Each structure stands twice: as structure tokens, then as C-alpha cells.
Amino acid sequence: MTTLALKYRPRLLSDLVGQEGSVKALANALKRAKESGRIHQAYLFAGVRGTGKTSTARILARALNCVEGPTATPCGLCGPCRAAEQPDQNLDIVEIDAASRASVADARALREQVQTRPAFCRYRVYIIDEVHMLSTEAFNALLKVIEEPPPHAIFVLATTELQDVPDTIKSRVQIFPFRLIPVGLIEGRLKHVCEQEGVEAESGSLRLVAEAGQGSMRDALTILDRVIAAGDGRVLEESVREQLGIVSAHLVQGVMSALAIGDSAALVEACRELNEQGADWATFWRELVLAFRDRLEQEARAARGPQDLLRWARMLHLLLSRERDLRDSSLPRVVVELALVTASQLPHLTPLDALVSGARPSGPPAGPPPVPSRAPQAAPAPEGPRRPTPAAPQAQAPLRVRAPMPPGASASPELRMACSEALRAIPGLRALGTAPQMASELRWEPPVLRFRFPGNVRQTLQDLEREQANPHVLAALAAVLPGLRELEIRFEGGTETAQTERPEDRLRREPGFQELLRLSGGEVLEIRHEG
């Protein structure tokens, strides 16, 4: 039984969809060859799978050998045209799979075979598929014959990896790019195929199949074949979604709405529903990102303000940045939930300027000016009810863990225990409580608490290095070490972390910024550099 991809394979240049540039160039080349009797003898078709490279090579072979040719519209009735329909049985159309015949011996055999004249056609056409798989020695063996082929030989090379083809080969061939086929053109072709096959297709179902093809007509036709079989001769949207693992558009839009209004509970519930449906998380993520991209386009075309556009752009950027984590993780549901909850809160963070103006009294500042920041700007949610802005939390109460330690206290059990209990009391950073017990030296020299660790535990203590300037960490330790302002962390046999401290660490040490974070209960989410 012939598959749809083979049955509807292009037979003429005019049948090719989405490759207008290459089609026009080849048609003009054939026209000039008819008029002048001369034609270029080496071509390279480059593009992703399923875009028509091999089909075009066969069409070119037919166009060159037609009794009326060379012509862009072969008759399809003469002997050479009919023989081109079955290239495996045509002595003058030689198809070679470079993936299985990549050795230098194969290339040398081909170089000798090229000298043989055609059996009954005008030209002998050599189609070398996946030519990038040839070895360097094989390319070298073919180089001379491609540069100066016999008058009767035409070479058509096809590849999905143009960058792997040597420049010496590229300089001797005419390169024709085969681009991804737009979704609309694939959908139109699928509709034509369904009409020819007498297959009923639901509205929107073929669009899903076309998108699943990802620019490849052959892949889209193969998927259509499977969907028709699953739908008992019909193309149903539900069947397409089931076969391709695509979640319902209603659920994707529901997730977008929940993101827009910051409804974390609805997002967690949506993830639970997806898990129960056995949805493919990577497919869901792709659908969500595309829906976000469409929403961003709508906002841009509606000439929204910069804050509205940036709000959607930031959420989309966060989703894209988590794509690799999703692919590599063994717990995709957790990655999705964390990314969605985080993205849902980005539009509702209070602008740093508003916090500064609200936290400081009018008049001259009492301390150094606040450090500029590019914290996310607040703006009305794009849809759904507006949530009230939460009041800034009160200053964190001192942690009552132990009596304050005196200056000069060294690595005594009391100092270690006091620091451990203080760190364990910090929400979200309780794992830091083990660090004082791992220190080979722990010394309190106001206003600095000095840690020294063995060099082999640095990997384990990455969190402490990262959070050493966190105002919440400093405040927790200051409850038992009055006057503490800084942590110094050293590793034996290593360098001081302060030499490679991050910009956000310096920012957090600014007195004005520490006061702002303390009053607001805020946290630095992102640091950007300009200039």
C-alpha cells in the first residue's frame, strides 16, 4: 500500500510547495540550457528533511532527459520521463546513499563509473543523498570529477548539514537552499490531499497536523496518514491531539490566564490535570510558548505601552530559559510547576522606584543614594481581576536562638551551635545550618564573621558562597552576633571568594539597599548590565 507521502510526491517543479526561489532558478537554468545547449553539471540541494531535495533531484533528472528537454515542464509520456518514475530501474539515474557508501573506495568506484556514457538518455544523473556523510578522503576523490565532469554526467548532491560539506566542494557546485515550508502552505497541501482522498477533516485539525510537521511536508503527510487511520478515515481534532500528545487549547489558554493574574493555585491545579492526562510535558511547553508568542504579537500590534509589552516579554523569556531544564530533568512536572509559579509573580512585583519613594522620608537622604536597579516594573494585569498590592512586611523580628556571642569568640562549640541555629531558622535556606559545623576555623571579629573550610567541600557549600551577602542571612546571624555586617569565606588551598564576588553581592552591601530590602521583604531577582 502506497503511503500518502509517496503517492503525492512532486512530479514537476510546479508541484513543489514553499520553495519558490529554488524552483524559479532551476526553471530559468533549464530554459537557458534549451536555448544554448549548455548547462551547469553540479548542484547542491541543502535544507532540512522533508522539504523536497531528493524529489527535486529526480524532477531535474526527468527535465534534463525528456525528449522535449531540457525543459521545466517535461511531458511525462516519453520513455525517459516514464523511466524517471522508477529510478531504481533506470540505468541513467543513479541514486547513492552516502550514509552507507561513504568510503574512499566507493568514491573511486563512482569516479570510474562516471566515464560510462548513458544507456538511452541524454544525461546520466548521479544523485548523492546525505552527501555530508562522505569521509574526507571520499570528498577528495570526488573533487576532480565534480570540477571537470564528462559532458554526459550531471551531479546532484543533497544534504541536511550544509556546514559539514567541505568548502572545496561548495565552490564547485551551484547551491540551492530548501527552506522550512510555512505552516499555511502545508495546511493547504493537506487539505488538497484530503479532498483527493475523499477524507473529511474537522476545522482546525489540519492546522495541528501542519504545525506538527515543523516545516517538513513529508513529515506532515506521514502524520496525516496515521491520523486518518486512527480516525477511521476521518481527521478529527480530538484524534490529532491524542495521536500527537497535544493538550487542549482550552487548557493552554487557562494556563495563560492564570499567569496573567498571578493565580498560582490555578497553575498548580493545571499541572495536576496535565499529569493525570499523561500529557507530554515538552509538547505542552512548546504549545504554551507558542501561545505566549502569539499573545506578545497581539500586544505589540495593539500598540500597548512598554510596561505591558515588557511584562509579557519577561514571562516568555523565563519560559524559554527553562526549556533545556525541562528536556534534561527526570522530574519535568516539578520544572514546569516551578517555572509557571515564578512567571506568574513577575508582573506583580512592585517597582523598585516605588519602594524607594515609599520607604524613605522626604528631604535629604540620611545615607548613600540607592543603587539603580532594573527590577520588573508593575503594571495592570493584562486580563482578569486586579489583585491588591500587598503591604510591605514589617521588619523581621530578631531571631531568638542564643545569647549574643562576645567579640573574639573562636571556633568553640557554642559559636558553631549559635550560628547553625540562626542559619537553620531562615526560611528556604535551612540547609545553610550545616556550614558552621563543617568549618575548620570559625572566628567572630566584629563586624566580620570569618569562615575557613577545607578545599574539598567547596562544591557542597555553593549555597553559602552564593548567599553570603544576602541581607536575610546577615540579619539572622546578627541576632546572635551584634554588629555583624559581613561574612568572609575562605577555602584552604583556594582563593578568597570576595575576589570573584558577583555584582549583586556588592549591591546587597550598600546600606541604602539593605534598608530597602529589610523594609520591603524583597529579594534581588535579576541583575542586568548596560553599556
d(CA 488, CA 430): 20
Q: Specify the domain boundaries for CATH 3.40.50.300 within the chain.
A: 4-178
- CA distances 33 to 72, 117, 118, 146, Å, are 10, 20, 19, 19
* 458 grid coordinates: 567547596
Q: 217 near 52, Cβ under 8 Å?
A: yes
Q: How many CA atoms lie within 13 A of 514 on its CB side?
A: 17
Cα dihedral 119, 125, 129, 135 in deg (nearest 10): 90
- Residue 175, SS3 per DSSP: strand
- The 10 Å CB-count burial string (b at 16+, else e) for 317-332 is eebeebeeebeeeeeb
Which of 182 and 306 is assigned the larger pLDDT? 182
pLDDT exceeds cutoff 70 at 347: no
Closest CA to 114 of 57, 157, 153: 153
Distance of CA 360 to the CA centre of its chain: 43
Report pLDDT for 369.
40
On whether the CB atoms of residues 156 and 127 are closer than 8 A, the answer is yes
Confidence class for position 24, pLDDT limits 50, 70, 90: very high
Joined together, the cell numbers standing for residue 319 give 519560559
Residue 156 has pLDDT above 90, yes or no: yes
pLDDT at 373 over 60: no
Cell 510591605, residue?
392
Q: CA 195 to CA 199: how far, in whole Å?
A: 6
Q: What is the pLDDT of residues 233-290, one digit of tens each?
A: 788 887 887 777 777 777 888 888 888 788 888 888 888 888 887 777 888 888 888 8
Q: How many CB atoms lie within 10 A of CB 494?
A: 12
In the chain, residues under CATH classification 1.10.8.60 are 183-244
Model confidence pTM above 0.85:
no
Contact 484, 478 (CB under 8 A): yes
Contact by Cβ (8 Å): 126, 116: no
With bands split at pLDDT 50, 70 and 90, how would you rate the model's confidence at 1? low
Q: What residues does CATH 1.20.272 cover in the chain?
A: 249-348
Task: Provide the sign of the torsion angle of the four alpha carbons 444, 445, 449, 453, taken in this order.
Answer: negative
Q: Is the pLDDT of residue 396 over 50?
A: no
Which residues touch 502 (CB under 8 Å, ≥6 apart)? Answer: 527
Which has more confidence, 465 or 357? 465
Q: What's the rounded mean pLDDT across residues 405-423?
A: 74
Compute φ and ψ for 448, nearest 5 degrees: -115, 135
The DSSP letter of residue 346 is G
Peptide bond into 447 cis (omega under 30): yes
Q: Is the domain covering 413-500 a CATH 3.40.50 domain? A: no
- Kindly report the CATH class assigned to 249-348: mainly alpha
Question: Which residue spans of the chain are classified as CATH 3.30.300?
Answer: 413-500
Angle at 265 between CA 262 and CA 270, to 5 degrees: 100
Confidence of residue 87 (pLDDT cuts 50, 70, 90): low
Task: Please give the residue that has the higher pLDDT: either 4 or 511.
Answer: 4
Element spanning 155, H or E: strand 153-159
Q: Whole-number mean pLDDT of the chain?
A: 79
**Cell 546578627 sits on residue:** 478
Q: Is 428 left (phi over 0), alpha (psi -120 to 50) or beta?
A: left
Model confidence band, residue 506 (pLDDT cutoffs 50, 70, 90): low
Q: What is the structure's pLDDT at 498?
A: 41
- Architecture of 183-244 per CATH? Orthogonal Bundle (1.10)
| Helix ranges restricted to H, 302-382 | 306-321, 323-328, 332-345, 352-359
Percent of the chain as helix, strand, coil, to the nearest 5: 50, 10, 40
Sign of CA dihedral 497, 502, 503, 508: negative
Non-local (6+) Cβ contacts of 478 within 8 A are 398, 484, 485
pLDDT digits (tens, 9 = 90+) for 178-207: 999 998 999 999 999 999 988 888 878 898
| Confidence at residue 304, expressed as pLDDT on a 0 to 100 scale | 78
Class of domain 4-178: alpha beta
CB atoms within 10 A of CB 444: 24
φ, ψ dihedrals at 284, nearest 5° = -60, -40
